[in-house]
Amino acid sequence: MRQPLQARSVATRMALLDATVDGLCRSGYCDLTTNDIARRAGVSRGALLHHFPSKADLVGAAVEHVLRRRLDQFTQALATLSPSADIVDAAIDAVWSMFDGQAFVAWAELWVAARTDPALSAVMLDVEQRFTEQSRGSAVEVFGGIGTFPVEALSLVRDFIFAVMNGLALERLVPRQRRPPAEYLAVLKATVRGLLDTNRTVT
């Protein structure tokens, strides 16, 4: 029994977006072509153009698609935290898990491309702001019961954690000798715990 037309349309659109993310991870933004994406998705070029008339339209939708995947990963990671666990260790381990996969690689590819593409840069800045706002709110909920930091400081703790993890995840994209991620994460945990265990504010 065939799917209803609307369901097939949604499935085709999702297949194209997933194929775009896969293409970003495998070939990079510069080598990403609509013909290759259609082939990866198993649809005709005409079907691709029906949903996304241009590469810019497709990439813009892919940015939103990656954003949703990263937010879902972030929410799911924090949802796994055990009430009895060390909150700093557990939260940092959970957040790190979202930096180890296709969504982050695609995100990194898009940001590199956005450096010289004003239109893509505008789209990326918009979705990055939304991701930051939502994940800051989650960080306040997770760390709010530790120490006496104001909300602004807890948001900065979140930004610090993400800055370290972004750098560590980017470093892993280039194969070479390096320290294991666990060593960096151990230092990050100790630093964050030291910040949250004090009564000082961060400015």
Going from N- to C-terminal start, the domains of the chain cover 5-196
- Rounded distance, CA 94 to CA 138, Å? 13
Model pLDDT, residue 149? 62
Model pLDDT, residue 147? 57
Taking the model in full, what pTM does it have?
0.73
Placement of tokens 């530790």 in the chain: 146
Listed in sequence order, the residues at least 6 apart from 66 whose beta carbon sits closer than 8 Å to its beta carbon are 21, 103, 106, 107, 110
Model pLDDT, residue 200? 47
Q: Contact 52/16 with Cβ under 8 angstroms?
A: yes
Question: Residue 149 has what DSSP assignment?
Answer: -
Low-confidence ranges of the chain (pLDDT < 70): 1-5, 83, 85, 144-149, 151, 198-203
The CA distances from residue 155 to 68, 137, 144, in Å, are 21, 8, 10
The CA distances from residue 177 to 52, 170, 174, in Å, are 41, 14, 10
Model pLDDT, residue 73? 75
The CA distances from residue 21 to 32, 132, 145, 182, in Å, are 10, 21, 37, 27
> Count H helices, E strands: the chain?
9, 0
Model pLDDT, residue 133? 86
CATH architecture of 5-196: Orthogonal Bundle (1.10)
Q: What is the pLDDT of residues 31-88, one digit of tens each?
A: 888 899 999 999 999 999 999 888 878 888 887 888 777 777 777 777 777 767 677 8
Question: Residue 178 has what DSSP assignment?
Answer: -
Model pLDDT, residue 163? 93
